[in-house]
Amino acid sequence: MKKTSIKQYYLFLIILLFTMNSLFDGCSGSDEPRISPDKKRELANVLYNQQLYPQAVSEYQDYLNRYSLPENEQANIMYMIANIYFDRLNDYENALSYYLRIKYLFPVSNLQAEVSKRIVECLERLKRSTVHLAKTLRPLWTN
């Protein structure tokens, strides 16, 4: 009976240590990612190259959300996500969403001309009118 009690005691201690370790990791107050930005982007690229497009989008989104990136990098990553939705997943609504984000959030980006074309292509594929969108975005296009 003592062997069983000792085994249970050790098992309890191991579980307690793992639990406390998890608690301390969660309460450290640091939201800093443990993976470098370059590694995170590299992972997203690998997933893309392996044709794991939804997973690549998820990693690119996480890269955007977790790291402090220059505006041109943010615009480029959003453009990559939009293109995955458009070209690889045929998800024109999500593609349109990302193209519009670039159009609105990064009006001086060198991607603006291409983004404008892609917005029209998305709307055509979704069988939506470009008239309403043109009125909405006219102030952005004149910048």
Q: How many CA atoms lie within 13 A of 70 on its CB side?
A: 4
User: Do residues 102 and 78 lie in contact, with contact meaning Cβ atoms separated by under 8 Å?
Assistant: yes
* More confident of the two residues 8 and 26: 8
Q: Which of 130, 108, 111, 109 minimizes the C-alpha distance to 119?
A: 130
Alpha carbons 96 and 124: distance in angstroms, whole number? 11
Q: What is the predicted pLDDT for the residue at 10?
A: 67
Q: Any idea where the domains of the chain sit in the sequence?
A: 34-141
Q: What average pLDDT does this structure show over 59-82? A: 97
Q: Which of 77, 75, 83 minimizes the C-alpha distance to 111?
A: 75
> 75-105: per-residue pLDDT in tens?
999 999 999 999 999 999 999 999 999 999 9
Domain 34-141 class, CATH top level: mainly alpha
Q: What is the DSSP letter of 35?
A: S
The pTM of the full predicted model, rounded to 2 decimals, is: 0.71
Start-end of H helices in the chain:
2-26, 37-49, 53-66, 71-83, 92-105, 112-125, 130-141
Q: Which of 70, 137, 66 minimizes the C-alpha distance to 107?
A: 137
| Amino acid at residue number 125 | R
Q: What is the predicted pLDDT for the residue at 8?
A: 72
| Amino acid at residue number 91 | D
